[in-house]
Amino acid sequence: MVQAILRLPAVRAESGASRSTIYLRIQQGLWPKPVRLGPRSVGWPASEVAAINIARIAGMTDDEIRNLVVKLEAARKTAANAL
């Protein structure tokens, strides 16, 4: 399955959050870590960005979002191992 990778400008547009807020949320465990695309570029799977946005819209608590982030990152590793 092909999945789009969103670069930071697209993630900012989708989430409505600034660059610094996205990276702060990563440190807090409230946003998935980026995928390395090259030596100086990163991106996020579009499905993960959408899942976090849906969780925020649904009013999930920070703890629930942290659990979601753990699940998303685990699913990313599982998918990679399946290749």
Which domains are present in the chain?
A: 5-81 (1.10.1660.10)
Q: Tell me the pLDDT tens digit for each residue of 20-29.
A: 999 999 999 9
Looking at residue 82, what DSSP letter applies? Answer: T
Q: Tell me the pLDDT tens digit for each residue of 33-47.
A: 999 999 999 999 999
Q: Tell me the pLDDT tens digit for each residue of 43-68.
A: 999 999 999 999 999 999 999 999 99
Q: Phi and psi (nearest 5°) for 59?
A: 80, 25
Token pair of 53, please?
């946005």
Secondary structure (3-state) at 60: coil
pLDDT range class, residue 80, cuts 50, 70, 90? confident
Provide the 10 A C-beta neighbour count for residue 58.
Answer: 9
